[in-house]
Amino acid sequence: MGIKIGDKLPDATFMHMGAQGPEPIASEDFFAGKRVAVFALPGAFTPTCSAKHLPGFMENADALAAKGIDKIACLSVNDVFVMDAWSRDQNVGDTIEMLADGNCDFTAAIGLELDGTGFGMGRRSQRYAMIVNDGVVEALNVEEGGEFRVSSAGYMLDHI
């Protein structure tokens, strides 16, 4: 069964690119005491993810902050180097924290894994967005296969 509103996030370790290179970050530390907008997607550099999902959150970062979001995180089952390259390609800067769930551990633990083996993509994340308040899921919007609507920044803004 997948994660739901009111659930505490499981303990996991993400990777992100720090000043000195790849660094682990514990989910407990990342979410502690903050209200975080998290959006997850099937893969860096993929069409919808690059053209709509990530840019939408970048464009709406200030509006999300005005509604009480302390931090925005993009999560994908990619390695930290791919997430860093995509961040630079998309000019993300410090606007969004790019979190790599390279082994799909967190994604599987919350029950939002996608089997992309039929497309040569392996295990991936479903497309979703959630608000996490001090480690607890406050809102969760999971897309139906092939859709891009309820996980968008605009949808999130309209529903918080």
The catalytic residues are 49
Whether residue 14 contacts residue 101, with contact meaning beta carbons closer than 8 Å, is answered with: yes
DSSP secondary structure code for residue 49 in this structure: I
Number of Cβ atoms within 10 Å of the Cβ of 91: 9
CA dihedral angle for residue 40, residue 105, residue 22, residue 76, rounded to 10 degrees: -20
14: part of which helix (H) or strand (E)?
Answer: strand 13-18
